[in-house]
Structure 1
Amino acid sequence: MPASFALPSILEKVMTVLPPDEEIYLVGGAVRDLLTSRPSPDFDFAAPSNGISLARSVANSLRADFMPLDDKRDTGRVVIRNADGSFTYLDFAAYRGASLEEDLRDRDFTINALALNLKDMTVIDPMNGAGDIRAKIIRACSPDSMSHDPVRVLRGVRQAAAFGFTIDKSTREWMKSAAYKIENASIERIRDEIVKILGGPKAGASIRALDMLGALSHIMPELSKMKGVTQSPPHIHDVWTHTLAVLDQLDGLLSILGPGFDAETTSDLFMGLVSLKIGRYREQIAEHLAKPLNPTRPHRSLLFLAALYHDVCKPDTRSIDEAGRVRFFDHDVKGAEVVAERGRIFNLSNDEITRLKVIVRNHMRFHFFADRLENENQPPSRKAIYRFFRDSGGAGVDLILLALADARGIRGSDLTQETWAANLDIARILLENYWERPAEVVNPPRLLDGYDLMKELNIQPGKVVGRLLEAIRENQASGKINDRYQALEFVRRELSRMDGEP
């Protein structure tokens, strides 16, 4: 029976250049997305043979880029650059088996074992995938689906979260049985699925699911040691449960701060305060998160990965002081190295690894500001704000978002309105300076360079030049230096003081 749905314009365009005498089907997730009225970023096509030559022909007709993906599986890709700079990928492959039905039955989940006949718009559905879509169930195509490709365990968890579906009981058991085999999959495939999970909805729930299925310890084993590690008040959870709570809170926070969010729709007073205190920065936050450090991996995923690792070294640094209070000295410093190593294992870029390190290394600084504001009514000085953004670089906004999620994850329902208000006030102060007073506080214009100092004051090259230049910038941020003359006078006083030191 022909299906009735609106085809995306890109698909209609592709259909005009497909060879009319070829048997070509749209298959997989793109058909699922059509049935559920979801946008699809990519389109997979299947034909009895000649997948690569089909892709090359379509690419030539559309004046798009072509690349062979897999000679063994006769798969080629067409890359279309869209007007907004994004890309649409069209993959053409020969049947995986002897027929289209065999190809579909060999796929991961029934909701993806679908094909659309592009000539008569008939949906081919040998596994009742449409029924599972209506029932909102993730069901494996066969008992061997997971063991044949264990990365499907991650994909199933991701799609369950993305679509709000439930994983079928038998499928969960098959996932558990195949979990240990994930270690044998390529690290790039594992990384790409983890990135999608962390960049999608309900990242915390997805990580919980991977853990319960026994898969997480075979992907990121260093996380397991956080389980059961107790903490002193105000923490209400052990380290692992706290970490998962932070992921949940970060997800909710980004929803509240998302473009177009209506604050009137939330019944959560504490999240409503977020909108009240820092909601005016929604657009800037969205722009910040829209800037990836790698074109194939979203910024959001990197932030959630940092959140997942922010306390990873608490088990290694746990101690108890004389008063019986649990301490975790330098867990931020050591955690930065652990998350950097995970970034290297995942083959992330140097920029991404640096960002992860900076976030984990500096994630406690915001809390010092908030504690001082709440307990001493003392907001951070201009110099402290300057140093915060200097040390965090482009990660300053990420640190603020993580810190707010961390604050809620620490106290949970014990969080008082006063404590939360102090945290939000610090966030407002920092964001206000970052976006409204950048030249005054965050990144003052350079009044002098090293050559100026050496020429004007007869200073020899060395570390002292760098220290003096940084001291000038700190005093600019503090409002104590406003022009070149004041900068030179400051340096003269500093040199005189240094000469007088024993």
Structure 2
Amino acid sequence: MKDKPSWNKLAPYAGRWVALIGDQVAGVGWTAAEARRAAKRNRPKEWAAAVIFVPAVKVDSDENENEGGEAKLKTLRTSERKITLPEWPWQMVRRLARSRQTHVWLVGGAVRDALLERPLHDWDFAVDRGALKLARAVADAFGGAYYSLDVERGTGRVVLRTDAGTQLDLDFARLRGDDLDADLTTRDFTINALALDAAGALLDPTGGLDDLAARRIRATSEGVFRADPVRMLRAVRMAAELGFQIEPQTASWIRRDVVYISEPSAERVRDELVKLLALPGAVEALQRLDAFGLLQPILPELDVLKGVTQSPPHRFDVWQHSLLVLDTLETVVATITEDESPTPSSIAGVPTAAWSDLARALKRFASDVDQHLAIDVSGGRDRALVLKLAALLHDVGKRETWSQDERDGRIHFYNHEPVGAEIAARRLQALRFSSDEIARVRVMIGQHLRPAHLARAERLTRRAVYRYFRATGCAGVDVVLLSLADHLSTYGPNLQDRRWMRRLSVAEQLLTHCFERYHETIEPPPWLTGHDLMDTFALSPGPQIGRLLETIREAQAAGELQDRESALAFARRLLDKSAD
């Protein structure tokens, strides 16, 4: 790349993705999409020409990297292994530990990911003594925030902000056991039971390096899942995330211990489920959960959809259809937001031309949709994640509403949307999702057929657009995306061109109004207030005022009113009509 910045400039971001504008780092993230979104937030009027991964291992460069200073990476060699870690924050942690005569080891996922040359997420440190004091010292040195996670067990967290504004968590914990070997051998999986000491020695008491090379998930011992049943979910999630296989003995222990999955707190189960759903290709991981018997205890409302039959144009039962909608949704979003067209799943059987049609119709909303879905809803869980939840659960009301016409045998699911919205809300409450997340899912499931209803009309009026967004609120964009995925999953290879193009036309118009004409048709500035109506027409406060204002506002959004005077005249006609 012509304007590629020097390694010295990229070194602080080793293990992460960076979005570049010229030779400047405009955004940083743990994924390419996150880096690009950060760049859009930081420099909204410019487009990042490239998004690149800064490897943990220093790569060759045409530039003389040593001129003008040392590269800010420290290469650590252990036998035939080489790990390269950013000196920030590793060097400061070592220095502070040494000054306190404390031994510190980098452990777990950070070591694993460095060996795999993957982006480094959170850093975990094991400390022989004084873990909380060391964590506070690190927070002070970096100007970060310190939090005590478990004083009794000696665990604390340091939250740092990088120059690009991304969050980095450093967790410090007292050794579990008499020494590091005891600590590592009680961890969940061998590939997480790795440690790096301050001198650069790589410690591997359970054979994690061999399992990394073989790309397998192996439990450190037979009792790991009974000690913490959430680890069963983590095994499935890590296998999907890393592209590894769960070793047969470990798989048999999961099947044996699945009965214990009800023991952990709902919050911990939720967090692991969320991490799994956030992965691309989440459906495969969900199917693996189901094969182990782990899905039914977590999402029983989804499990009971197996065997719930549907009439054509549906091709699958409700369970398979629900998984297919989630899978197709990922491709719908990627087709709109990503620079390169994704490879659609062959399961849906959607004609290739349909994806091209989708890109032509909605690609211009790429930045808007991307930023919309990146907005946090609660606890670090963004709109994209909540949309995937809604897609998975969108038809959970069909089992309770199933009926069959005695005359023609067709199957119906009358009112399955509102019924399903409440079923999903109860399950999400049990999993301790926030009220904002639950409200959002309730709207998406309750309204997921609305774009299909709009597509049946000859044309989409401004009044219909206004009413659509009044019903869906800030989830209106999400409902559009869910509806498209639902349509493609339903028809698959039997997709009808005319029907599909009409659905795309409605989607394009709804997104246009949302992103380009918002203050014209969705949230027009009010020309009248309640006081205006009361003063002009000698009205008393009451529900009548609210109804009048809403009727006026809808007429304004529909383009039937031009100014304050026409709004007052319209109000007078409404009052005269009600008096007759």
Q: Find the partner of 1:286 among 357, 364, 370.
A: 370
Matched residues in 1 for 2:288 and 2:149: separation?
31
Q: Find the partner of 2:307 among 222, 228, 242.
A: 228
Higher helix share: 1
Partner amino acid, structure 2, of 1:272: S
- Given that residues 417 and 448 in structure 2 are in contact (C-alpha distance below 8 angstroms), is that contact kept between their aligned partners in structure 1? yes
For residue 148 of structure 1, what is the aligned residue in structure 2?
Answer: 227
Q: Deviation of residue 403 (structure 1)?
A: 0.9
Q: Find the partner of 2:400 among 308, 316, 319.
A: 316
- Given that residues 27 and 46 in structure 1 are in contact (C-alpha distance below 8 angstroms), is that contact kept between their aligned partners in structure 2? yes
Matched residues in 2 for 1:12 and 1:363: separation?
52
Q: Does 1:301 align with 2:385?
A: yes
Q: Structure 1 stretches of 5 or more lacking a match?
A: none
Partner amino acid, structure 2, of 1:299: R
Matched residues in 1 for 2:244 and 2:331: separation?
19
TM-score normalised by the chain length of structure 2: 0.81
- Given that residues 154 and 194 in structure 1 are in contact (C-alpha distance below 8 angstroms), is that contact kept between their aligned partners in structure 2? yes
Partner amino acid, structure 2, of 1:483: D
For residue 15 of structure 2, what is the aligned residue in structure 1?
Answer: none
Matched residues in 2 for 1:201 and 1:164: separation?
11
The change in CA–CA distance for 1:234 and 1:151 in structure 2 (over 3 A counts) is same
Matched residues in 1 for 2:89 and 2:498: separation?
52
Matched residues in 1 for 2:160 and 2:92: separation?
12
For residue 201 of structure 1, what is the aligned residue in structure 2?
Answer: 280
Matched residues in 2 for 1:82 and 1:331: separation?
46
Q: Deviation of residue 264 (structure 1)?
A: 8.8
Q: Does 1:7 align with 2:78?
A: no
Q: What's the % identity of the aligned pairs?
A: 42
How do 1:438-453 residues align onto structure 2 when only pairs under 5 Å count? 438-453=518-533
Matched residues in 2 for 1:393 and 1:245: separation?
26
Q: Deviation of residue 64 (structure 1)?
A: 2.2
Q: Does 1:418 align with 2:498?
A: yes
Partner amino acid, structure 2, of 1:435: F
Matched residues in 2 for 1:117 and 1:204: separation?
38
How do 1:40-439 residues align onto structure 2 when only pairs under 5 Å count? 40-119=120-199, 121-259=200-338, 261-263=339-341, 268-321=352-405, 322-370=407-455, 372=456, 378-439=458-519
Matched residues in 2 for 1:254 and 1:6: separation?
35
User: Helix, strand or coil: the match of 1:237?
Assistant: coil
Matched residues in 1 for 2:263 and 2:343: separation?
46
Matched residues in 1 for 2:220 and 2:105: separation?
19
Partner amino acid, structure 2, of 1:320: Q
Q: Structure 2 stretches of 5 or more lacking a match?
A: 1-76, 345-350
The change in CA–CA distance for 1:157 and 1:417 in structure 2 (over 3 A counts) is farther
Partner amino acid, structure 1, of 2:214: A
User: Helix, strand or coil: the match of 1:366?
Assistant: helix
Matched residues in 2 for 1:492 and 1:438: separation?
27
Q: Deviations over 1:377-411 (max 9, x none)?
A: x2321111111111111101111111111112212
Q: Deviations over 1:432-484 (max 9, x none)?
A: 11111112212111111111111111222222221211111211121111111
Q: Deviation of residue 67 (structure 1)?
A: 2.0
User: Helix, strand or coil: the match of 2:173?
Assistant: strand
Matched residues in 2 for 1:129 and 1:268: separation?
42
Q: Deviation of residue 265 (structure 1)?
A: 7.3
Report which structure shows greater RCO (CA 8 Å, sep ≥6): 1
Matched residues in 1 for 2:225 and 2:353: separation?
43
- Given that residues 203 and 251 in structure 1 are in contact (C-alpha distance below 8 angstroms), is that contact kept between their aligned partners in structure 2? no
- Given that residues 204 and 248 in structure 1 are in contact (C-alpha distance below 8 angstroms), is that contact kept between their aligned partners in structure 2? yes
- Given that residues 334 and 341 in structure 2 are in contact (C-alpha distance below 8 angstroms), is that contact kept between their aligned partners in structure 1? no
Matched residues in 2 for 1:77 and 1:277: separation?
46
Partner amino acid, structure 2, of 1:366: P
Q: Deviation of residue 255 (structure 1)?
A: 2.2
For residue 18 of structure 1, what is the aligned residue in structure 2?
Answer: 97
The change in CA–CA distance for 1:255 and 1:225 in structure 2 (over 3 A counts) is same
User: Helix, strand or coil: the match of 1:222?
Assistant: helix
Q: Deviations over 1:271-330 (max 9, x none)?
A: 232221101111111110111111422322211111121111110011123432211111
Q: Does 1:36 align with 2:121?
A: no
- Given that residues 309 and 360 in structure 1 are in contact (C-alpha distance below 8 angstroms), is that contact kept between their aligned partners in structure 2? yes
Partner amino acid, structure 2, of 1:278: L
Q: Deviation of residue 205 (structure 1)?
A: 1.5
The change in CA–CA distance for 1:265 and 1:359 in structure 2 (over 3 A counts) is closer
Partner amino acid, structure 2, of 1:149: D
Q: Which portions of structure 1, spanning 4 or more consecutive aligned residues, are displaced by more than 6 angstroms?
A: 264-267
Q: Which stretch has the larger CA shift, 223-232 or 56-65? A: 56-65
Higher strand share: 2
User: Helix, strand or coil: the match of 1:467?
Assistant: helix
- Given that residues 18 and 58 in structure 1 are in contact (C-alpha distance below 8 angstroms), is that contact kept between their aligned partners in structure 2? no
User: Helix, strand or coil: the match of 1:452?
Assistant: helix
TM-score normalised by the chain length of structure 1: 0.93
Matched residues in 1 for 2:343 and 2:445: separation?
33
How many residues are treated as equivalent by the alignment? Answer: 493
The change in CA–CA distance for 1:379 and 1:161 in structure 2 (over 3 A counts) is farther
How do 1:454-473 residues align onto structure 2 when only pairs under 5 Å count? 454-473=534-553
Matched residues in 2 for 1:409 and 1:294: separation?
29
For residue 8 of structure 2, what is the aligned residue in structure 1?
Answer: none
Partner amino acid, structure 1, of 2:276: I
Matched residues in 2 for 1:241 and 1:146: separation?
29
- Given that residues 199 and 298 in structure 1 are in contact (C-alpha distance below 8 angstroms), is that contact kept between their aligned partners in structure 2? no
Matched residues in 1 for 2:428 and 2:104: separation?
40
User: Helix, strand or coil: the match of 1:257?
Assistant: helix
Partner amino acid, structure 2, of 1:262: E
